[in-house]
Structure formats: C-alpha cells, structure tokens
C-alpha cells in the first residue's frame, strides 16, 4: 500500500480534487495507493471537514504553539512518518499548505515531497502571483506542480497548465481560472507518481 499524506492550511480544494480522483479512479484497487491522512497547521482549515466526511483521518498541528519553525517541522515530520510503511515511505503532497519548510524537513522527505504553485515557474515564485502576472503584462499565466527543494518554489517541474491572461482580468478572475486547471493537473501528477510513471 502506498500512503499519500496531504498537507493543507485552508479550504483544501486541491486536496479535494485529489481525493475525488483517488475515489473515482480507484487508486487503491489499481495502484495500491490511498489518501492516508490530511494534516493542517490550522484548526479552522475548512478542508479538514471535507476530509473527515470522506472518512480520511485528519490531524491539526498548530504552528503557533511551537517556539520555532524547526520544532514545528519536527512535529510535522513525526506525524507524517506515522504513515510510512516498510520500504514504502508516504508521498507528501502540499495542497495550499502555507508554511515555508525548513531545509532539514525537505531533506528528510526528499524525492517524495511535491507542491503546486499558481504560476508558470520559474516566473513569479512566492505570493500574489496573479496580480504580478497582470502587472507584468503577461499574456499567459498558469500553475506548476513541482518537487519541493530547500529553495522556495524552485524544484524540478513535473507538470504545468497554461491559461490566457485576458484584458479584463483581475487577480481574482485569473486566480479562479488557474485554479480550475490546478484541480486537473495535480491529481494527474499524484496518480502518475503512485502508479509508477516517471518524470
């Protein structure tokens, strides 16, 4: 069995798209893969409710209760490692997880830690990506699924989706259109990884 642990901080719409794909495409039956847990750093993350309704174990590790980023990451690593199986470490999927991870954490989960970012990396790493794309006069924007490295939003790219930037776009309208593409490409990448496809 390949366990998938999804980390969220808010609504969890990308998490939900992955969960639905796992259900409708029968990942457990076909690939021996399941969504084993959803972990949040916020008690009020709306995505926790969705996961619970699907019967997925959830956990909250509140970063505000830790004295340092490193101590929070250590606790998070312990929680994730609970889902590691012998010779089958869990795949860790960041889905709107709004924390910058320490190099030690990234190193511990190297090769099995992925993220989705709402821009066409390497353009516009960090925050406010949609407004920055509009301000820069970009004709296209999009989303990127990538492996996580110690450098923020810099890891090897696994997939991208492109959307046009329209003349009337606001950051919200562009974000909404990009998000629909995120919901398509992220489950595809996770499925590819658990089914043994290579990138």
| Complete DSSP assignment for 32-57 | SEEEEEEEES-TT-THHHHHHHTT--
| List of E strands, the chain | 2-8, 33-40, 58-60, 91-94, 113-117, 140-147, 157-164
How do strand 2-8 and strand 91-94 relate by DSSP bridges?
parallel
Query: Could you tell me which of 9, 80, 69 has the C-alpha nearest to residue 44?
Result: 9
117 is catalytic: yes
Question: What is the distance between the alpha carbons of residues 152 and 125, in angstroms, rounded to a whole number?
Answer: 7
Of 117, 130, 146, 183, the active-site residue reads 117
Torsional class of 11: left (φ above 0), alpha (ψ -120 to 50), beta (otherwise): alpha
Half-sphere exposure of 164 (CA within 13 A, CB side): 3
- Active-site residue list: 117
């Amino acid at each position: 069995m390949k366990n998938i642990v999804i980390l969220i901080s808010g609504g969890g719409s990308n998490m939900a798209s992955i969960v639905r794909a796992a259900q409708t495409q029968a990942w457990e039956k076909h690939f021996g893969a399941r969504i084993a847990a959803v972990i949040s750093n916020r008690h009020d993350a709306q995505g926790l409710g969705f996961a619970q309704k699907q019967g997925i174990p959830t956990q909250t590790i509140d970063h505000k209760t830790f004295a340092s980023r490193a101590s929070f990451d250590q606790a998070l690593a312990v929680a994730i490692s609970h889902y590691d199986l012998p010779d089958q470490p869990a795949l860790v999927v960041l889905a709107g997880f709004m924390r910058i991870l320490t190099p030690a954490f990234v190193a511990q989960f190297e090769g099995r830690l992925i993220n989705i970012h709402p821009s066409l990396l390497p353009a516009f790493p960090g925050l406010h990506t949609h407004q920055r794309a509009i301000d820069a006069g970009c004709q296209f924007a999009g989303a990127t699924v990538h492996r996580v490295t110690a450098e923020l939003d810099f890891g090897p790219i696994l997939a991208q989706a492109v959307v046009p930037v329209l003349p009337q776009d606001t950051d919200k309208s562009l974000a909404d259109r990009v998000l629909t593409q995120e919901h398509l490409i992220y489950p595809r990448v996770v499925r590819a990884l658990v089914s043994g496809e290579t990138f």
